[in-house]
């Protein structure tokens, strides 16, 4: 069986993906903390073909663990959402967002690259459209999508069999968006440039989260599983359809 390495494998969409492919692959599931490791070991400990270990994708020593692994499919799913205006958000949060969402992916690819490797990177539909107070996160994903597009072209110049796929999910009800959106209010105090608009921004957030978020993961799960199983996966997969259509219309008319 082929071997998959998954970063950020604790929950959400990727948990649904694992349930679909766990019988056909050897899988390394990595998580950020020891408490998360206990949770995934409890969930997958009965499977002989699944191994779980802690991997902080921003930690040099943790990343060295990857050099010893032989994998066929890399799924970079680890991410953080740091929200807030560029006027308010602490710069440490900006750096953490890019270190996790962008730089770590490049470091991991360098650690595991080999001939006949399939690379699947989880970006975001937010990379395509501007979302107020979400610029740091969405720009980290835009940078990720773009650098992977460039890397894909580079790989085509070699005789190595390396495929690069970018998954761009829209808003799904995983808890990730709620947590990320809420973080910006930690910095929007009486000194904020937007202090008079906080109530309006909160109403906007509630509308987005209640109306736009998809409660079912099947649309994006199918795309990711297709990328895993296909001999010649596409460069980009996006879902859900309505959100993808909205993004295309926005880009076209803007």
Share of the chain above pLDDT 70, in %: 100
Paired tokens of 94 = 């900006």
Residue 248's pLDDT band (cuts 50, 70, 90): very high
List C-alpha distances in Å: 50 to 1, 74, 122, 184, 204.
12, 15, 21, 37, 41
Q: What is the pLDDT of residue 26?
A: 98
Across 194-211, average pLDDT: 91
Per-domain residue ranges of the chain? 3-253
Pair 76, 117: CB distance under 8 Å: no
Paired tokens of 142 = 């835009």
Across 69-79, average pLDDT: 97
Q: What is the pLDDT of residue 40?
A: 96
Residue 254's pLDDT band (cuts 50, 70, 90): confident
Dist. CA 84–CA 146, nearest whole Å: 23
Dist. CA 180–CA 175, nearest whole Å: 9
pLDDT at 190 over 80: no
Q: What is the pLDDT of residue 100?
A: 98
Could you read off the pLDDT of 89-99 as tens digits, one per residue? 999 999 999 99
Could you read off the pLDDT of 51-64 as tens digits, one per residue? 999 999 999 999 99
Could you read off the pLDDT of 130-177 as tens digits, one per residue? 899 999 999 999 999 999 999 999 999 998 999 999 999 999 999 999
Across 118-132, average pLDDT: 95
- Topology of 3-253 in CATH? Rossmann fold (3.40.50)
Q: What is the pLDDT of residue 98?
A: 98
Paired tokens of 11 = 């929950």
Q: How many CB atoms lie within 10 A of CB 35?
A: 10
Could you read off the pLDDT of 175-185 as tens digits, one per residue? 999 999 999 99
Average model confidence (pLDDT) across the chain: 95
């Amino acid at each position: 069986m082929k071997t998959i390495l998954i970063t950020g494998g604790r929950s959400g969409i990727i948990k649904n993906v694992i349930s679909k492919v766990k019988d056909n692959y050897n899988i390394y599931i990595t998580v950020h903390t020891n408490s998360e490791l206990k949770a995934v070991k409890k969930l997958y400990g009965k499977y002989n073909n699944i191994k779980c270990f802690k991997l902080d994708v921003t930690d040099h020593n943790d990343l060295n663990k990857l050099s010893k692994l032989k994998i066929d499919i890399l799924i970079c799913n680890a991410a953080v959402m740091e929200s807030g205006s560029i006027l308010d958000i602490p710069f440490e949060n900006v750096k953490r967002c890019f270190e996790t969402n962008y730089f770590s992916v490049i470091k991991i690819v360098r650690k595991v690259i080999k001939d006949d490797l399939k690379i699947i990177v989880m970006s975001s539909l937010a990379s395509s459209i501007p979302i107020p107070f979400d610029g740091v996160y969405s720009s980290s994903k835009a940078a990720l999508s773009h650098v992977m597009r460039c890397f894909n072209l580079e790989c085509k110049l070699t005789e190595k069999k390396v495929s690069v796929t970018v998954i761009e999910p829209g808003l799904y009800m995983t808890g990730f968006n709620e947590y990320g959106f809420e973080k910006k209010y930690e910095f929007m105090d009486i000194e904020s440039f937007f202090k008079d608009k906080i109530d309006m921004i909160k109403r906007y957030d509630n509308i987005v989260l209640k109306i736009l978020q998809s409660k079912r993961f099947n649309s994006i799960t199918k795309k990711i599983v297709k990328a895993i199983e296909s001999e010649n996966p596409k460069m980009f997969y996006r879902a859900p359809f309505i959100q993808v259509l909205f993004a295309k219309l926005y880009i076209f008319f803007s």
